[in-house]
Structure 1
Amino acid sequence: MTRPLGRSRLVRDRLTLTLYTPFITWGWFLYGFSPAVPLIAEEQGISRALAGLHGTGMAVGTVAAGLVSARIAIRYGRRVQTLLGCAVLVVGILMLLAGTTVAVTLPACVVVAVGGNLVLAAAQPALAVHHGAAGPAAITEANAVGATFGLLAPLAVGASVGLGWGWRPAVGLVIVLAVTVGVLVASLRNVPALGRGAVTRAPVAAPVPAAATTTAAPGADQAAAAPTGAVARAERRAGRAFSGAFWFFWVAMLCGVAIEFSTTFWASDLLTQRTGASPSVATASVSALVVGMAVSRFVVGPLSMRKAPEKILLLAYALAGVGWAAFWLATSTPVAIAGLVLAGLGYGAHYPLSAALTLRASDGRPDQAQARGSIGTGAAVGIAPFALGALADVVGAHQAFLLVPVLVVVGGGAVALGLRSVHRALRTTAPAPGTR
């Protein structure tokens, strides 16, 4: 079966609520900075394709974080990783605010993404370890909280632009949020979820309920010794042995991230061209997408404890396609905004559910799985917005947005293949009596 066994309950204790704050911080930056990219292009006098390289810079930072996050978690623990990530994030935001040319803002995006993804790469496995079978619900709700606060960011950017202040004041709030995260995490007591990640893989077995593979016995994280060269080599060998189900859900996660970033980066541009909305209104309208995503995540979190998350994810991809079509065909601002809300209802489930499914399929290696997820999503962040921006320079934003339904089909297909892989593995490992 693909549902959690038994009745799971999400307990929102102090640790859980504290681990939600990194998602608030990143959500504010992500949904505030993305719609500001067209404004940066205008400010710096650069093309859409070159402006899209800010997404590539974030991708490079995300990949860089993925290459080191598991090692940091294993050697120093997730608390230290969080504090380090917050410090790097603050430095990156300061660079971004000070930059007036692409030569400064692009490297700033790299630094910001390194810091932000180090923090998230600690928070998601920590939630999975802390909540066990309720891990997918916790991860989805954390992303919902982040999206809820994030939906205010485009409004703040739009208001700031309307007042003549530009995009910087709204994005600069990330500094305050990052410092708050660091203070809150530093004040938590020592718990296994914030300790060192596991360095050995679990025995190969049948797929288990959602997030159960990411939960060790109490103290298991802290019991992991600092890796020696032999352990590190064993870890690398184990890292190449993820299951087929893991990689299918990994592809689905990449497609979901590519869809989300492509839309948040360029939806305001398309809305302006198709409906004649002003830049400030179009930028603020991106909040409609985030509203849908936030609502979706608050609904999907509890639902994932009762229904198979793979099937919920399939439905989410279908809904994303319908919402995209409504937005793409719209020629009036209200209809376009309604399409963004509908698309957001589908988009909202893509990343948290696929991330939870990759953690579930990690054979007890959540930090390594999270690291590979960061590398993959980094590539998606870098390629998709740049590709859509480059296409828009050639064929216009309207035709360029046809990239999104292609990603929807690929992502949905990957989920279907992942679900089939899970079912096949369960049939293979099920006890002989009564299996037929």
Structure 2
Amino acid sequence: MKSEAAYTRDRVTWLAFAILAVYAYVLYALGPMLTLLRRDLDLPYAMIGVHSTVFAAGVLVPGLLFGRLVATFGRRRLLWAASAAVAAGAVALAVGRTPVVTLPATAVLGVGGVFLQIMALALLADRHGPRRDRSLVEANAGASAAAVLAPLLVGALDAAGASWQVSLALPVIALLALRVGYRTESLADAPPGSAPRRAGGRTPLPRTFWLMCAVCGLVVGAEFCVVFFGASLLRQVAGVGTGTAAAVMTVFAVGELVGRLTGSRLTSRPGRTRHVLFATLGVSAVAFVALWASPSLVPMVVALLLLGLGMANLFPLALSLAVGTVPDRSDDATARTQLVVGVGIMLAPLLLGTLADRLGVRLAFGVDLALLAAAGLLLLLARDPRRPARTGVDQQLVAR
């Protein structure tokens, strides 16, 4: 088995890190952008939820088709096609002045962006095997750095009286640079060895995998609620302006960056993945309650920082455990997980937005706490009583 010293960040690893950073930038820019779009176009809160639902509907496409498209076209072609789609969606969102344009643009960003995300995660899982948890946390740390920049730039441009749409030029430029820099890079289309097939097709994915998939969907749904409606909560409770609220959301991204940098160190030793995931769920729940109960801006900022710290590693650790149940089927596992995540992204913000129009944003945010509680319950159920305590990726790490 590979030793700890064998963990290296090669060119493909850095490509995957960069791809996830671009996706994170677009994702975290989208929340404050939708808040500004609602202001500029005088849209109801529910329309923010519709945009997030359209984005999530786009997420479902890669989850269903990724494996087939990779088998047909290969990872390299699919990677650059998805990059072109993200660039086109960013341009369309920047120039759109009506939901007739911005809704399709958001859908294109959802489809292309998640193809990029699945590709990057599958590449890292294949490249680093039992150390996938560390590579996934590191990749998400880089994504957090981009996530810090996104709302800060959007809010700063709006506060300065400039066009916030200019911020969408950055991912387009980054994708063009990656295309040029990696134009000759070959990407392995599948890990060595494949799961055995039954007469009707592949062996079904195990129950533990689907439970961890559901955990992924719940925690990402909770995170998206904060991303899409955090600025609106700040406006309603703290009474700050839209541009200021968008900029303050940078604090959440800073918390995630710090959390993922810390998470990289915590996952550098084997056997910790599940325990760290439980701990971060607890931190997230406590921080959310503090945010929910905060009466003014300063305690809300502190709570947002702690919430980002807690939520930072929920998805990468849950994904690592999910893929660890079927390590020889990383494409299938990552795509199926993203499909479930897409459902979470689609339903959670839509539910919150619908409730916000009736109850107000603050009361509607109770959805987030329910999602975190459900994730904790499923994580408890995901341990197979027939297996020893260390399962999935932890078992592989101990076996090194």
Fold in common (TM above 0.5): yes
In structure 2, relative to structure 1, the CA distance for the partners of 1:9 and 1:99 (3 Å cut) is same
Question: Is 1:416 equivalent to 2:380 in the alignment?
Answer: yes
**What residue is the counterpart of 1:400 in the other structure?**
364
- Name the aligned partner's letter for residue 343 of structure 2: A
Q: What is the distance in 1 between the residues matched to 2:51 and 2:370?
A: 23
In structure 2, relative to structure 1, the CA distance for the partners of 1:182 and 1:398 (3 Å cut) is same
Deviation at 1:43, TM superposition (A): 1.5
Deviations 1:399-433 (A, max 9, x none): 00001110010011111222x22x5334899xxxx
Deviation at 1:7, TM superposition (A): 4.1
Q: 2:128 aligns with which of 121, 127, 131?
A: 131
- Name the aligned partner's letter for residue 126 of structure 2: V
Give the match's secondary structure for 1:150: helix
Question: Is 1:291 equivalent to 2:246 in the alignment?
Answer: no
**What residue is the counterpart of 1:221 in the other structure?**
none
**What residue is the counterpart of 2:394 in the other structure?**
none
* Identity of matched residues, %: 29
Q: 1:96 aligns with which of 75, 93, 96?
A: 93
Deviations 1:174-209 (A, max 9, x none): 211222232333232x3xxx2222597436xxxxxx
**What residue is the counterpart of 1:425 in the other structure?**
387
Contact kept in structure 2, 1:76 and 1:196, CA below 8 Å: no
**What residue is the counterpart of 1:197 in the other structure?**
190
**What residue is the counterpart of 1:249 in the other structure?**
212
Deviations 1:37-62 (A, max 9, x none): 12111212221012211111111111
Q: What is the distance in 1 between the residues matched to 2:387 and 2:194?
A: 18
Q: 1:374 aligns with which of 319, 335, 338?
A: 338
In the TM superposition, 1:168-207 aligns within 5 A as 168-188=165-185, 190=186, 194-197=187-190, 201-202=194-195
Deviation at 1:8, TM superposition (A): 6.3
Q: What is the distance in 2 between the residues matched to 1:119 and 1:350?
A: 20
Question: Is 1:390 equivalent to 2:354 in the alignment?
Answer: yes
- Name the aligned partner's letter for residue 43 of structure 1: D
In structure 2, relative to structure 1, the CA distance for the partners of 1:5 and 1:131 (3 Å cut) is closer
Contact kept in structure 1, 2:129 and 2:327, CA below 8 Å: no
Deviates further, 170-179 or 25-34:
170-179
Q: 1:334 aligns with which of 298, 304, 307?
A: 298
Deviations 1:4-36 (A, max 9, x none): 996465312222112211011011111111122
Deviation at 1:172, TM superposition (A): 2.9
**What residue is the counterpart of 1:226 in the other structure?**
none
**What residue is the counterpart of 1:214 in the other structure?**
none
Q: What is the distance in 2 between the residues matched to 1:8 and 1:341?
A: 33
Name the TM-score, length of structure 1 as normaliser: 0.85
Q: 2:70 aligns with which of 69, 73, 79?
A: 73
* Equivalences, count: 390
Q: What is the distance in 2 between the residues matched to 1:196 and 1:53?
A: 35
Give the match's secondary structure for 1:263: helix
Deviation at 1:396, TM superposition (A): 0.4
- Name the aligned partner's letter for residue 218 of structure 2: C
- Name the aligned partner's letter for residue 235 of structure 2: T
Deviations 1:78-116 (A, max 9, x none): 222211110111111122112111111111111111111
In structure 2, relative to structure 1, the CA distance for the partners of 1:263 and 1:39 (3 Å cut) is same
Q: What is the distance in 2 between the residues matched to 1:406 and 1:169?
A: 37
Give the match's secondary structure for 1:424: coil
Q: What is the distance in 2 between the residues matched to 1:83 and 1:366?
A: 20
Question: Is 1:43 equivalent to 2:40 in the alignment?
Answer: yes
Name the TM-score, length of structure 2 as normaliser: 0.92
Q: What is the distance in 1 between the residues matched to 2:182 and 2:351?
A: 37
Q: What is the distance in 1 between the residues matched to 2:240 and 2:278?
A: 33
Q: 1:84 aligns with which of 81, 85, 90?
A: 81
**What residue is the counterpart of 2:20 in the other structure?**
23
- Name the aligned partner's letter for residue 166 of structure 1: S
**What residue is the counterpart of 1:267 in the other structure?**
230
Deviation at 1:334, TM superposition (A): 1.6
**What residue is the counterpart of 2:142 in the other structure?**
145
In the TM superposition, 1:354-369 aligns within 5 A as 354-369=318-333
- Name the aligned partner's letter for residue 196 of structure 1: D
In structure 2, relative to structure 1, the CA distance for the partners of 1:44 and 1:126 (3 Å cut) is same
- Name the aligned partner's letter for residue 251 of structure 1: A
Deviation at 1:343, TM superposition (A): 0.7
Q: What is the distance in 2 between the residues matched to 1:361 and 1:341?
A: 32
In structure 2, relative to structure 1, the CA distance for the partners of 1:17 and 1:363 (3 Å cut) is closer
Give the match's secondary structure for 1:425: coil
Gapped regions of structure 2 (runs ≥ 5): 392-400
Contact kept in structure 2, 1:265 and 1:385, CA below 8 Å: yes
Give the match's secondary structure for 2:68: helix
**What residue is the counterpart of 2:396 in the other structure?**
none
Deviation at 1:147, TM superposition (A): 0.8
In structure 2, relative to structure 1, the CA distance for the partners of 1:156 and 1:83 (3 Å cut) is same
Contact kept in structure 2, 1:83 and 1:186, CA below 8 Å: no
Contact kept in structure 1, 2:223 and 2:311, CA below 8 Å: yes
